[in-house]
Amino acid sequence: MHDSGRFFTVSGMRVRGPEGPGRDQPVIVQPEIGVLGLLIKDLDGEPHVLLQAKAEPGNIDGIQLSPTVQATRSNYTRVHRGGATRHLEHFTGPGRGRVLVDSLQSEQGAWFWRKHNRNMVVEPVGEVAEHPDFRWIALRTVRRLLRVDHLVNMDTRSVLGCLPPGPVPAGPVPPPGSAPAAPALTSWLIDAKQHCLLDARPIPLADVGGWTRTETEIADVHERSFRIIAVRVEAGTREVRQWAQPLLAPRRPGLAVFLCRRTGGVPRVLVRARTEPGLGDFVELGPTVQWSDGTGPAVPEEAGPFDGSALTDDPACVRFDAELSEEGGRFHRAATRYRIIEADSGLSADGSQLPDDYRWLTPHQLHALVARGHHVNVQARSLLACLASLP
């Protein structure tokens, strides 16, 4: 814990389901709401976004493309007594620009306890101060760069995933109440939340069973899940030049896959109402297939109904495939393989052959649920950003 008691802590979480003994695990607790903000403006007739070349202690390959503002409340209120957060004035207070996107979104429910950040896209009013760490990049170029491994960071992808499909709107994105999410769709998701039998609660870290602790590491005794490690950081261009902190270190990359198809010329993706213990309502819409460290099939018999399709190497089916980094400020070298795969023609388009927790949705339907907040998980939002990069 920081001396101020702010920023974030590592605590314990006890998870119990309707069957079996359940499990204990460490979890990152960050109760304050941060800002993930993108400035956007028209340059030379097309939308550009202002990105920061930013290093985080857990990043793969060091510097990644981050949002204009990526800051916890403790950071931008300068609890660390360091420098100010650049461009924050465009996202807070009465002088901020024209807000196009503004919603609270969750982050990894397997590793965080009920964490959420404010995702914003804002068109600035007046001039934006130049700085060598920031650059205006065409939105279409940023979307192409998603295909480069470990270049566009998780927070940028999360905000890009909140933009509606198609051209950037000339005015604010319609408020959640006017988004075209069919009542049957929202009822299906709310039913899944209501009937979820998972029980998860925070516990003291000292009470977490099945994990060992040293001065520099917390690890599960079977070495199947992530570790919590201690790191010391030096950074010449951050608000504070030196600090020490814990990071969650996965043992292996994750996987997040959308199966997609066109029906009557309309694109659709297959989503799953997915349970994660650290989410506020336990259930949000996620990718067709999603594995993180410590999850996924240990033996072939445990494979899900679409795992085989998700892992295909058939070039005729693979529309997007890149290994992208997760949040480098909280995770150490955490990576997920993001894929978009054309579904097998034998898979029912009307959903009649699907398990109850899967649905085919158009990108517009899925965005309508993104706009409501806490309905679409961070892996699915990253995949929405990747989907927008496809021709």
The b/e string for 254-264 (b: 16+ C-beta within 10 A; e otherwise) is: bbbbbbbbeee
Predicted local confidence at residue 168, as pLDDT: 76
Residue-range domains of the chain with CATH = 1-391 (3.90.79.40)
The whole-angstrom separation of Cα 139 and Cα 41 is 10
Predicted local confidence at residue 230, as pLDDT: 96
For 286-322, how does the pLDDT look when each residue is reduced to its tens digit (9 = 90+)? 999 999 876 655 445 456 799 999 999 999 999 999 9
Phi first, then psi: give them for residue 343, nearest 5 degrees.
-70, 150
| Sequence-distant (≥ 6) Cβ neighbours of residue 103 within 8 angstroms | 118, 119, 162, 176, 370, 371, 372, 373
The whole-angstrom separation of Cα 60 and Cα 58 is 7
Q: How confident is the model at residue 7 (pLDDT cuts 50, 70, 90)?
A: low
- pLDDT of 183 strictly over 90: no
For 215-254, how does the pLDDT look when each residue is reduced to its tens digit (9 = 90+)? 999 999 999 899 999 999 987 665 677 889 999 999 999 9
**What token pair was written down for 9?**
């802590």
Query: What residue type is 110 in one-letter code?
Result: A
